[in-house]
Each structure stands twice: as structure tokens, then as C-alpha cells.
């Protein structure tokens, strides 16, 4: 009987781990287009307005989905409002706003590269010091391989390019955004169990949108109004539904299934997906160093998750 229970527990852990990995992969695939959209919206929708439209749309959608849950969990939500506010500041109000501001000054590929190089490493370090998550040798090897793959794209296969690389104004905005997303990953791990993922996201999305409101109004008063087109409407829908409601729900579930550090490592796949999308939609070239980078990143993810998936 004990053997059967042990086998059942092992199978359950493996299924949980594989489910978490699958959800993290799906999230980064959808998220990868966010950087292309951010760059494409330059000159069409101001950055703070884009963030405000995104989170306002996401708030409406998630509240329609989770209203009954919020009502049922309202007492614990009220007691947790300080924590929810603390999570919504870095993860909702700041992270993507900084991405959209950075997109005014740097390329989409730089946004993806800098964000995915720094954020997972910061998240793993924060998880180690504040959540006592273990950093094993396989995770360290995985981190090195992932970062190596990203740096290969950054250098375009030439080491001299990497040595001469410098951060632009937009790169620094993205670096700050990456830090705040790492903070969000760490804080989200401490979500009260009694609050469902949908309620958690609904409240944090709304808080983030409300915090952006005064900055949106100031920006609106100083810049030309948005010229709405079907394409811009579709972009806002993608950001509000796909990149926000769907991605954040499955990302938070992944965090609880496989941990903050392991989930954050999957962010290294974003520049890989972004490169593929750039080839398909922007007709950019795909070179051998892109392929080698993909191999390194995938190998890094394999090593980082080897112990739990074998």
C-alpha cells in the first residue's frame, strides 16, 4: 500500500511539473508578440496610454469572468488588499509601462533580449533569498546556458559586438522593467491560498489600471489623440485578453506548480519566439546564430528542469 501511495504521489508530482512547464511555455509564446506590438505602436499609441488601455480592457474581461469568485472571496480579499497593492505596483503598473516607454527608444529584439536575460536571473536570486528556494547545480547550468543563448543573439555571433555593446535609454527602461517583473514573480508566489488566481488577477489588474489613470490623463493632455483603427483595436484586445488575462492566469498557475525560479527561466524563450515572429511578420533574416541560440536556451531549460521531469 505504501508503495502504491508513493507511486501515486510521484506520478502526481510529475504531472504537476509537466503541466506547469506546458503553461509557462504557452505564456511566453503569447507574450513574445508583446515586444513586437510595443515597437509597432510607436507613434500610434503613447506608451502610458497603451498600458492603461491594456489593463483597463483586461480588468473588464477578468471581472466578467471572476465576479462570483470575487464576491465569495471578498472577506479574505479585503484583508489582503495591502499585499495585492504591493504586487500590482511592480507587476501591473510598472513592468509593461516601462516596456512601452523603452520601445520608444530601442528595438523590439533589444527589449526581449534585455528583459529575458536579466529578469529570470533576478527572480532566481530573489526567490533564493526571500522564499528560500533551492538553487541546485542543474539550475545553475541551465541559467548559464540560457544566458549564453541570449548573449549569442545579442552579439549576432561576434564576440567583439558583445564587448562594444552599450545600453541605450530604451535599454535602461527595459532593464528597470525586468527588475520589477522579477519582483512580481517573487511576490506572486506568496499569494494567499484562499484567493483564487482569477480573483487575484482581477484585483491587481484593476489596481494597476487605477494607478495608471492620472498618468494617462496627463499624457493625453500633452500628446495628440489616438487615431483609432481596427488594427489598433485588435492590438488592445490582444494585450488585454491574450497577453494579460490568459497569460497572467496560466503564468501564476505555473509559478505555483513548479516554483518562481523555474517558471522565470522559461522567459528566456521569449527572444527565440520573438525572432521567429519577426521572420514571419517583419521579414527579418534568420541566421545560424539564431539557431544555435535556440539550442542553448532549450538545453538550459532542460537542465534547469531535469530533476523534476525525469
Domain contains 146: no
Residues 249 and 198: beta-carbon distance below 8 Å: yes
What single DSSP character describes residue 90? I
Closest-CA residue to 40 (of 119, 99, 117, 116): 99
What CA–CA distances, in Å, run from 284 to 38, 99, 114, 274? 17, 22, 19, 11
Q: What's the burial of 161, exposed, middle or buried (CB within 10 Å: 0-12/13-18/19+)?
A: exposed
Does residue 261 sit within a domain?
Answer: yes
What is the number of domains present in the chain? 1
| Domain presence at residue 131 | yes
Residue 204: partners with Cβ closer than 8 Å, 6 or more residues away: 84, 87, 88, 91, 92
**Contact predicate 37/235, CB 8 Å:** yes
pLDDT at position 169 is: 85
Q: Over its length of 310 residues, how does the chain's per-residue pLDDT go in tens digits?
A: 555 555 556 677 777 788 888 999 999 889 888 988 988 898 899 999 999 999 999 999 999 999 999 999 999 999 999 999 999 999 999 999 999 999 898 877 777 777 766 666 676 777 666 656 666 777 777 777 777 776 776 676 676 766 666 667 887 898 888 889 888 878 887 889 899 989 999 999 999 999 999 999 999 999 888 999 999 999 999 999 999 999 988 987 888 888 876 787 787 778 778 778 877 776 666 677 767 777 777 777 677 666 544 4
Its pTM stands at 0.79
* Residue 217 placed within a domain: yes
Q: Is 276 within a domain?
A: yes
**What letter does residue 267 receive in the DSSP assignment?**
G
* CA distances for 133 relative to 129, 285, 289, angstroms: 8, 40, 33
Residue with cell 469568485: 69
Q: Within 10 Å of residue 223's Cβ, how many Cβ atoms?
A: 12
Specify the pLDDT at position 203: 96
In a domain, 160, yes or no: no
Q: Tell me whether residue 161 is in a domain.
A: no
Provide the residue range defining the domain that includes 185.
Answer: 37-135+166-282
- 9 lies in a domain? no
Enter the DSSP assignment of 284. Answer: -
Rounded Cα distance, 224 and 237, in Å? 22
One DSSP character per residue, 47-86 reads HHHHHHHHHHHHHHHHHHHHHHHHHHTHHHHHHTHHHHHH
CA distance 252 to 81: 18
Amino acid at each position: 500500500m505504501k508503495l502504491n501511495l508513493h507511486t501515486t504521489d510521484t506520478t502526481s508530482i510529475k504531472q504537476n511539473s509537466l503541466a506547469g512547464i506546458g503553461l509557462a511555455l504557452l505564456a511566453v509564446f503569447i507574450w513574445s508578440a508583446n515586444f513586437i506590438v510595443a515597437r509597432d505602436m510607436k507613434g500610434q499609441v503613447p506608451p502610458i496610454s497603451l498600458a492603461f488601455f491594456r489593463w483597463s480592457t483586461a480588468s473588464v474581461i477578468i471581472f466578467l469572468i471572476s465576479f462570483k469568485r470575487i464576491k465569495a472571496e471578498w472577506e479574505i480579499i479585503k484583508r489582503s488588499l495591502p499585499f495585492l497593492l504591493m504586487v500590482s505596483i511592480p507587476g501591473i503598473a510598472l513592468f509593461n509601462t516601462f516596456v512601452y516607454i523603452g520601445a520608444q527608444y530601442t528595438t523590439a529584439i533589444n527589449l526581449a533580449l534585455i528583459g529575458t536575460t536579466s529578469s529570470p536571473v533576478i527572480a532566481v536570486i530573489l526567490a533564493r533569498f526571500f522564499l528560500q528556494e533551492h538553487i541546485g547545480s542543474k539550475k545553475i547550468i541551465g541559467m548559464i546556458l540560457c544566458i549564453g543563448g541570449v548573449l549569442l543573439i545579442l552579439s549576432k555571433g561576434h564576440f567583439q559586438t558583445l564587448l562594444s555593446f552599450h545600453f541605450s535609454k530604451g535599454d535602461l527602461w527595459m532593464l528597470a522593467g525586468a527588475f520589477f517583473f522579477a519582483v512580481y514573480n517573487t511576490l506572486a508566489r506568496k499569494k494567499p491560498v484562499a484567493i483564487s488566481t482569477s480573483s487575484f488577477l482581477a484585483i491587481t489588474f484593476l489596481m494597476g489600471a487605477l494607478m495608471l489613470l492620472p498618468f494617462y490623463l496627463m499624457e493625453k493632455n500633452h500628446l495628440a489623440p489616438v487615431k483609432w483603427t481596427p488594427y489598433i483595436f485588435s492590438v488592445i484586445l490582444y494585450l488585454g485578453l491574450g497577453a494579460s488575462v490568459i497569460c497572467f492566469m496560466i503564468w501564476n498557475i505555473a509559478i505555483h506548480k513548479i516554483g518562481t525560479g523555474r517558471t522565470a527561466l522559461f522567459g528566456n524563450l521569449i527572444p527565440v519566439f520573438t525572432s521567429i515572429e519577426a521572420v514571419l511578420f517583419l521579414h527579418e533574416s534568420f541566421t545560424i546564430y539564431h539557431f544555435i541560440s535556440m539550442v542553448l536556451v532549450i538545453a538550459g531549460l532542460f537542465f534547469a528542469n531535469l530533476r523534476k521531469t525525469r
